[in-house]
Structure 1
Amino acid sequence: MGRKEEIVQLQNIGVKVPSFFRCPISLDVMKSPVSLCTGITYDRSSIRRWLDSGNNTCPATMQPLLSTDLVPNLTLQSLINFWSASVATDTATFVHRHPAADILRDLSSSVNPAPCLSRLADFLLDADNDDFDKNRLIGSGSCATTLSAVVCKNGSQIEILEAAFRVLALILTSEFIEESNKKLVISSLVSNLDSSVSSLLFLLGKNPDSRIEAARVLDSILTSEPDSRVPISEKPDLIPELIRLIGSTEEGVGKEKMDRSAIEVGLACLVTISGVRRARVLMVKKGVVTAAKNILMADASTAPATAAEKALKLLEVASGLPEGRSTICESAEEFVEAILGRMMKVGRKGTEAAVMVLWSVCHLFRDQRAVDAVMSANGGVTKILLLMQSDCSPAVRHMSGDLLKVFRVNAKSCLAGYDTKTTHIMPF
């Protein structure tokens, strides 16, 4: 018997239903309760029909919706499930069997688990299935260990790995999955880290969709398990594949072929492992500097502010290495144009990274090619001056001041007009 039929039967035998278990739209007991930004909870299918009909207000309060995001109310879902079980008079009739139990059983015993994995993905994607049931499945423990075993035992089976990483990416990136359950899955993968990463690397070299899903799983592991970063970063093929993912010209991928999702997740992985020194050196050798520049010069639709911020962070890391500074200064005009073009259009961390790169090559290491490139850039010095006068961090203000001193010494005439007109805000 399904959850819906079970609840209907409970209602039909005269059991009193708590009012807050009922959807304000359908007045039925909620199957998958979700909350709007107004704080009102509805059944997912009912509120989805309301929104899909073109409505942009909360049905209960009629307030305009600033966001149409649906947040699973797992606490209420748990209460509804507990209530339905506690009021059942015939346990043989009302035992709640997990709807995906057969999928998990078949997955653990199948010679070819790919079809079972596809069924599991469909179960997780189906909005009509309870978020509570999805979390109960993942939290059972056997699901995590089974998925980990599939990944480790099928390291060269492309069809199986594609299906497995699709499920893993769904679990690790979906908002309706509880963090504790995500950590359970990550722990199972990390328990056999070498085999898990080997399978992941195999998939990173395949078709774009599979590469993105594999990188999302990798990002989750790197973020949740800091101790795994060193052994993962030491895998010889990892960094080249991640650079290829974000669109390295070294691999012949043009800017027009960049993929936004690939860029975002690839940059996230690279920024995380850039904390490992040996990884930083290899990243620079394999072309991450040029790849980061190309991202900064790409359209905002392909490389939005979040991506640009990470790209600037990679350039900051690279500027701390002789090889990285050499690459930047050999094509100083291009890099300066890319950095200045995004410097004022990213968050505080991105802006600080941009200034740090310029400070490193122009002030700390005094590379004349970089200094000349900033001086000749349209509005380059002015942007640094305006940034210094803004509500920036003390570190940015200090580095901006150092840069302006370098530019004044090297080209006093460039700031002469500025000196005469706005001496009241000159930093020196």
Structure 2
Amino acid sequence: MVKEELYITVPSVFRCPISLDVMKSPVSLCTGVTYDRSSIQKWLESGHDTCPATMQVLPSKDFIPNLTLHRLINLWIQSSTLRPGSNSPRLLPATPPAISEVQAKLLMEKVEREGCVDSLSKVAEFVSCCEENRKFVARFDGFVEVIAGVLKRKCVEIKALETAVRILDLILSENGVTEGLNKLILKSNQESKFLSAIVLILQHGSLNSKIKSVRVLDSLALDSESKRRISDSQDLISILLQLLKTNNNESLNDAVTSILTTISITRSVRSRLIENGIVEIPSNSLTEKSLKLLATLSTCSEGRSAISSEPKCAAAIVEKLLKLSKTGTEDAVTVLWSTCCLNKEEKVKEAVVKGNGVTKILVIMQREGEGNVKMMCRDLVKALRAVCKDWCLGSYETKTTHIRPC
């Protein structure tokens, strides 16, 4: 027979503000705040001259035993104890936040001083607990700076870098975090150290860490200057391309494709990606993220030529054409329009017609309102007219409300 375990709730006043454990020897500072003796001694002996809870400077580091609270705690413990031979009750864990503000300050100091995995892991565990905790640390003065600082240090072990990235990834959606990180890293001329840490994770980190590091990097590319600073890292671009070529994890590939699309704002970056065979990769496994990248590449002549010369690309796009979101559809039509109407590639036109692309383009044209997508679809129909043998497109009226062959 399984014995039931009993739990009791600890009154918050009985917990030490630093350790969150029930106080064994409560003592009060001159500020009136009570702590467990061992916890406050460690705080003061480490060189602090402030009250951890209020951060007031202490005119005196002396403390006195809080005898009244000590008696209350002892009475509470005695009344909570079961009869001899029974199971002892367990204390309920502290409700979130699982660490106090004082503990957070101590952890931050330790992370800033040592960057150790143990302290970072405690922070990561706390942050991953719930939304309340994420908001707590995002508002915590200096928190983001300390975690970002780990990624700008030299000779930090990979596990610490991975944990720091995990923490940042968890709080990216909190108000002001990405802007703060952007200013701390990409606007402070320290991006080379940060990007070196990201490269190290991409080379030697776990799969999840690689995904998170790319997501963090992508979130920091808020403006053209930030994108340029990221794209200037030759090692980073090479590793991202290598990951796309050798990795078959969809989440990682989507993250990598997204950041490559984000930083492809200059012709030189796009040219470099094209020279390294970027067009061949999404042709084998087309996703909406890779369609966005292809649409970006198709804005330059080298990109259009590369897409046109890849035989699988147009066929893969046509096959997905009616299965995409509105944004994905726009990107797909943009790529087909760029290759068929701007480059006028006959092989691409043939691939589109062969995949029943004309019908699909007509369907898209009919369901779209007036706009760029509809205009590109009209141009595509005209460009494909000569190739299509089975449809009498010469008399097709693009303003009709029904699709039917003549």
TM-score by length of 2: 0.68
Cα distance change on mapping 1:425 and 1:165 into 2, 3 Å: closer
Alignment check: 8 A CA contact 1:243 1:288 kept: yes
SS at match of 2:368: coil
Amino acid at match of 2:239: E
* Equivalent runs, 1:172-211 vs 2, <5 Å: 172-173=172-173, 178-190=174-186, 191=188, 192-207=190-205, 208-211=207-210
Percent of paired sites with the same residue: 30
Equivalent position to 1:108, from 108, 112, 115? 112
Aligned pair count reads 312
Q: In the aligned structure 1, how far is the partner of 2:147 from the partner of 2:120?
A: 9
Equivalent position to 1:309, from 269, 288, 309? 288
State the match for 1:273 in structure 2: 263
Amino acid at match of 2:159: E
Q: In the aligned structure 2, how far is the partner of 1:393 from the partner of 1:142?
A: 50
Say whether residues 1:386 and 2:363 are aligned partners. yes
Amino acid at match of 1:98: V
Q: Which runs of 5+ in 1 are unaligned?
A: 10-89, 297-307
State the match for 1:232 in structure 2: 230
Shift of 1:155: 5.5
SS at match of 1:205: helix
Q: In the aligned structure 2, how far is the partner of 1:393 from the partner of 1:198?
A: 47
Shift of 1:399: 1.4
State the match for 1:219 in structure 2: 218
Q: Which runs of 5+ in 2 are unaligned?
A: 1-8, 16-65, 70-99
State the match for 1:73 in structure 2: none
Alignment check: 8 A CA contact 2:308 2:339 kept: yes
Alignment check: 8 A CA contact 1:155 1:161 kept: no
Say whether residues 1:370 and 2:345 are aligned partners. no
Equivalent position to 1:6, from 9, 12, 37? 12
Q: CA RMSD of the aligned region, Å? A: 3.3
State the match for 1:241 in structure 2: 239
Amino acid at match of 1:283: L
State the match for 1:357 in structure 2: 335
Cα distance change on mapping 1:225 and 1:193 into 2, 3 Å: farther
Say whether residues 1:259 and 2:235 are aligned partners. no
TM-score by length of 1: 0.65
State the match for 2:158 in structure 1: 158
Q: In the aligned structure 2, how far is the partner of 1:375 from the partner of 1:318?
A: 23
Amino acid at match of 1:137: V
Say whether residues 1:348 and 2:326 are aligned partners. yes
State the match for 1:44 in structure 2: none
State the match for 2:137 in structure 1: 137
Amino acid at match of 2:121: S
Per-residue CA distance 1:91-124 (angstroms, 9 max, x = gap): xx9xx743423221221222x5121111110111
Alignment check: 8 A CA contact 1:329 1:370 kept: yes
Per-residue CA distance 1:179-234 (angstroms, 9 max, x = gap): 12443344323332221122112222223222112111101111x35421111111
Q: In the aligned structure 1, how far is the partner of 2:101 from the partner of 2:403?
A: 72
Alignment check: 8 A CA contact 2:353 2:387 kept: no
Cα distance change on mapping 1:353 and 1:97 into 2, 3 Å: closer
Cα distance change on mapping 1:116 and 1:367 into 2, 3 Å: same
Q: In the aligned structure 1, how far is the partner of 2:271 from the partner of 2:405?
A: 36
Per-residue CA distance 1:344-372 (angstroms, 9 max, x = gap): 22222221221111111112211111112
Q: In the aligned structure 2, how far is the partner of 1:234 from the partner of 1:359?
A: 31
Bigger radius of gyration among the two: 2
Equivalent position to 2:272, from 277, 282, 288? 282
Cα distance change on mapping 1:365 and 1:359 into 2, 3 Å: same
Amino acid at match of 1:364: L
Q: In the aligned structure 1, how far is the partner of 2:360 from the partner of 2:265?
A: 30
Amino acid at match of 2:289: K
Amino acid at match of 1:416: C
Amino acid at match of 1:280: R
State the match for 2:170 in structure 1: 170
Cα distance change on mapping 1:134 and 1:426 into 2, 3 Å: closer
Where do 4+ consecutive residues of structure 1 move more than 6 Å?
417-420
Cα distance change on mapping 1:357 and 1:205 into 2, 3 Å: same
Amino acid at match of 1:179: N
Q: In the aligned structure 1, how far is the partner of 2:218 from the partner of 2:168?
A: 12
SS at match of 1:415: coil
Which structure features the higher share of helix residues?
Answer: 1
Amino acid at match of 1:189: I
Alignment check: 8 A CA contact 1:229 1:276 kept: no
State the match for 2:61 in structure 1: none
Q: In the aligned structure 2, how far is the partner of 1:120 from the partner of 1:243?
A: 32
State the match for 1:325 in structure 2: 304
Say whether residues 1:120 and 2:123 are aligned partners. yes
Say whether residues 1:292 and 2:269 are aligned partners. no
Shift of 1:157: 3.1
Alignment check: 8 A CA contact 1:154 1:160 kept: no
Per-residue CA distance 1:126-177 (angstroms, 9 max, x = gap): 24xx82x54343333322222222211135632221222122222225xxxx
State the match for 1:66 in structure 2: none
Q: In the aligned structure 1, how far is the partner of 2:321 from the partner of 2:242?
A: 25
Per-residue CA distance 1:62-91 (angstroms, 9 max, x = gap): xxxxxxxxxxxxxxxxxxxxxxxxxxxx9x
Alignment check: 8 A CA contact 1:155 1:202 kept: no
Cα distance change on mapping 1:124 and 1:97 into 2, 3 Å: closer
Amino acid at match of 1:314: L
Cα distance change on mapping 1:393 and 1:351 into 2, 3 Å: farther
Amino acid at match of 2:191: L
